[in-house]
Amino acid sequence: MVEKVTRFPKDKYVRKKWEVALRREGFTASDSSVLCSQHFKQGDFDRTGQIVRLRDGVIPSVFSFPVPLQRMEKGRVTSTSRRAEESLSMASQDSQPHNLPTSQTQPNDDHGSALPASPTALKTRLMEALARVEILEREKKNAMAREKRAKTTVKSLLGDLNKKNLINEELKEKLKFYSDLQIDLMAKQGHEYTKNYREFALTLHLHGPKAYKYLRETQHFPLPHPHTLQRWLRSVDAKPGLNKMMLDMLERRCQGDQA
């Protein structure tokens, strides 16, 4: 099934061609601009995979432009464009005042600021607007979630984990050593986890595997995979709760996760 809307291409050259094809004066597409799939021919889509996608370099060519513009485009008349022309012609006649010459035409507003001339074009405009709002709302929600996680420290999580019975008081006391550690954005230096972050992850996974899984899989905090923890076992320095015996226990737990 073809997607209802598609984003404007990132390639500046192709995006410019899309803007020209819309014939919307003064319009410049942004990264969040979308276009309804009804503006493309069936052959513009690649249906060979599980997901239907636009082929590279295709240009939108199906529009409900006023009749005079369509007649100028010789050699591009299709059954779809012919039906659109007839629909627009009837709509133009019904909406035209009787005291004006019949040669007066409506402006090209298929993608302009005025309402489209036909119900089909109006529906298309509405779908595009709703899709654009949905995308912006989703991006805003994701940005707010990232900002919230960036400000989250171990200290702010301990109470929540304790209330959910995911950690006990003993583990809570062990983890207080890392109270100021930020879980999300400050967890990495470049592409490497910080030393304190490694020790925190090892301690939490050893003593509170359910809490570790909750933070990693439900809250989507960037905690390392258990396989990664196993690679750290021989290099981490002993800190509260991480003596040799506990490291051996953690190694057995990681091996159990692999199985």
Tens digit of each residue's pLDDT (9 = 90 or more) over 136-162: 888 888 777 666 655 567 877 888 888
Q: How far is CA 72 from CA 68, 91, 186, in A?
A: 7, 20, 60
Give the span between the Cα atoms of 222 and 182, in whole angstroms: 11
Amino acid occupying residue 187: A
Q: Kindly tell me if the per-residue pLDDT of 238 is higher than 80.
A: no
Tell which wins on pLDDT, 66 or 192. 192
| pLDDT value of residue 108 | 45
pLDDT in tens, 85-137: 554 444 444 444 444 344 344 444 444 444 555 778 788 888 888 888 888 88
Strand partners, 34: 7
Give the span between the Cα atoms of 197 and 187, in whole angstroms: 6
CB 52 within 8 A of CB 45: yes
Structure tokens at 234: 């021989």
Closest-CA residue to 152 (of 89, 239, 220, 106): 220
Asked which of 32-41, 107-116, 147-156, 174-183 is least confident by mean pLDDT, the reply is 107-116
Single pTM value for the model: 0.37
Could you give the percent of the chain with pLDDT greater than 70? 61
